[in-house]
Chain A
Amino acid sequence: MSQHTIGNSNYNSQQLYDADETIPVGFTVNGTHHTLQLTAATTLLDALREYMHLTGTKKGCDHGQCGACTVLLNGKRVNACLILAVTKDGADITTIEGIATADMLHPLQAAFIEHDAFQCGYCTPGQICSALGMLQEGRANTAEEIRELMSGNLCRCGAYTNIVDAILQYKNGGGRD
């Protein structure tokens, strides 16, 4: 904690931006650098969808309640709908568009297809990003732990059991379980 007194000569106040002013922000998204001018009120989700035209990340509830907007931010899964983009200047972001390589599906995507882990597919980008974030965290070893640690991703189509199967198959090295 810094302890120098308020108002000393080193005081280096950064700019105060008015509500309508745009603020320069930079992100690396799926390996590509983007520089944007955004108002402070723009969420990371809207920055991705409306300004970078990466519409794979979905807007479900817009209130942190469904997980459809899950992306990896500096490797950690987060809800892009509750993040003001300007607070994450310089972040490294992975969205569903960055999961596959060229024409090769990511093995977790392939497992979702193999297991019928979706119907409408609206929750799927968030499910896949969340599952990859979860496996990085290293806390989900059993089906029960996967269910608990995937509870931030709702699926209106109720594909839950197949989602858990797809994640388990990928986690256990790919082959059919």
Chain B
Amino acid sequence: MEVAVTKFSFTKATDANDAVLKASSLTNAAFIAGGTNLVDLMKENVARPGALVDINQLPLHTITETEEGGLMIGALVTNAATAYNPLVEKHYPLLSKAILAGASPQLRNMATAGGNLLQRTRCYYFYDTATACNKRNPGSGCPAINGFNRMHAILGASEACIAVHPSDMCIALAALNARIHVLGTGGTRTIGFNGFHRLPAETPEAENNLQPGELITAIELPAEDFSSHYQYIKVRDRSSYAFALVSVAVALQMDGNIIKEARLALGGVAHKPWRNPVVEEHLRNQQISAPLLQDAAEMMLAGARGYGHNNFKIELAKRVIIRAINEAAGIL
């Protein structure tokens, strides 16, 4: 009847500083927000926190405009409330579209912005405590590399881990150059989106650059206009309620047929949302054409490697990139 195999203590944070203090002083503590990932992993005995610090009552539930004309999304705003927020729909429709491509309506009503960033991989071996897994149990090995790896990474993987970050929301946030505001015992700091998640390298258990006990307080969207030319395409094994095999977020600024500014982020292919500034630079100030997009797709997948069951993702990603850019530009 109870969710966890291991025992944990429980406390509610009274404010953000209290949350940080509790999370950094209690042994093996974890924040709990929507619980949609953490409770699931606790039931599987994959996550075994010693203490849960409930942050749901903190005042991080609003979306406000920043002085610079961007948006500040509180860490506890639900994915549904973000996607359907009028300011997000108007100025950052790419974010709405990506969020609505993820999970289910019920889950989006529960899942929070902060929790979405920190959700763990859906690698089957990571979830199965009967198997080895370097991410769950560092040094035990990675059975996915020579095992079932249909959903696994083709870019940026390591000998230690080939898992992917499963988020849709984060792919749009990466393309939009979001910034993550965090609070720790040393005060507040801001992390650029590209510096937030990590590649697996030798330490796949470390998925992001948060310090122990640090609390995400908000996600900031800079004041940039990508509301006219954007696309999010998610390819999955069924047409709804499934994680991405490959997803592509595109945000463009166009002048006629000329790409003035391009953002391109891939999901389902790496341990973090995958961007490549060289490709975006290659597209800038160019007239849109089939060879240009073919080049961009090839460059984006440069160095890609399949592990057997996921080889198809390389060609698939190229095709989805080309389609997504064409659709974002308005060329069908």
Contacts and interface: CB of A to CB of B under 8 A. Distances in A.
What DSSP secondary structure best describes chain A's contact surface?
loop
Give the interface centre of A15, A67, A77, A83 by most chain B CB atoms within 10 Å.
Answer: A77
A123 interface: no
Interface residues of A, number: 51
Q: Interface majority SS on B: helix, strand, loop or mixed?
A: mixed
B312 interface: no
Interface residues of B, number: 49
Given A15-B11, A130-B106, A82 B35 contact: yes
B198 to A, nearest CB: 26
Looking at A18, A42, A78, the one whose CB has the most chain B CB atoms below 10 A away is A78
A125 interface: no
A23 B21 contact: no
| Residue of B13, B43, B56, B59 with most partner-chain A CB within 10 A | B43
Residue among A12, A15, A79 with max Cβ neighbours from chain B (10 Å): A79
A134 interface: yes
Given A2-B17, A86-B54, A40 B106 contact: no
A137 interface: yes
A134 B105 contact: yes
A86 B21 CA distance: 21
A1 interface: yes
Contact of A46 (B1, B21, B56): B1
Given A6-B20, A79-B107, A42 B9 contact: no
B240 A41 contact: no
Given A39-B2, A62-B43, A84-B39, A1 B60 contact: yes
Contacts of A134: 105
Given A23-B10, A41-B4, A133-B109, 7 more contacts: A1-B188, A2-B17, A4-B17, A40-B8, A76-B109, A78-B110, A149-B105
Interface of A: 1-7, 11-20, 23, 39-43, 46, 50, 62-64, 67, 70, 76-79, 82-84, 86-87, 130, 133-134, 137, 139, 147-153
